[in-house]
Chain A
Amino acid sequence: NAGVTQTPKFQVLKTGQSMTLQCAQDMNHNSMYWYRQDPGMGLRLIYYSASEGTTDKGEVPNGYNVSRLNKREFSLRLESAAPSQTSVYFCASSAIGSYNSPLHFGNGTRLTVT
């Protein structure tokens, strides 16, 4: 049972490069999320998708775009990476919405921007 799968696990980018972080879940969950985790900051919500076909901004959306490709997949794109985007990125999913059901997390993508 894979749960939430994120690729890649590690990535190093140069300033200005672009990349897409992939996320897929096999639990038939409706809602999916992207968080970033920085030391001493906890997790901050970047974007979320309440259901297939919808996406909304979270707390820190600047510099990112997302695509809910289908019910299983939710990708995060950095169009022009900046050193401030060095972080660990987590994708999560939930059955209904985190208000009522727990979040299931992937193992993260560790991104370094030089």
Chain B
Amino acid sequence: AQSVTQLGSHVSVSEGALVLLRCNYSSSVPPYLFWYVQYPNQGLQLLLKYTSAATLVKGINGFEAEFKKSETSFHLTKPSAHMSDAAEYFCAVSDPSYYGGSQGNLIFGKGTKLSVKP
């Protein structure tokens, strides 16, 4: 099965600064990739997903991610951080061989907590 590595369990940026959250996956075949965000005491919600249509994917709240096959990466960026971006972010990869083929097969990274300083 594939794996997902998120570099940095905690990232702190100043308001207005660039946000860069790193995600690398292990696969020789381009997978489907996702970024989810979790605000305190809430469930996860989808930020964006890569499904091979375009390497640069735009999501909600000004976030975007670029799929780089050569680097097996899918880093999440936002040009200017806002206080409301403080949350935990999860990268996830789909793997048809992970428990049931096409169903229930998202493998999540361990998450990166983003703090935004005023």
Contacts and interface: CB of A to CB of B under 8 A. Distances in A.
Size category of the A interface is 20 to 34
B12 interface: no
A58 B99 contact: yes
Interface string B82-116: 00000000100010100110111110111100000
Nearest to A40: B110
Interface residues of B, number: 26
Nearest to B94: A99
B43 A106 contact: yes
Contacts of A45: 99, 104, 106
Interface string A77-114: 00000000000001010000111101111111000000
Interface of B: 4, 9, 32, 34, 36, 41-46, 49, 90, 94, 96, 99-100, 102-106, 108-111
Interface of A: 4, 31, 33, 40-45, 48, 50, 56-59, 90, 92, 97-100, 102-108
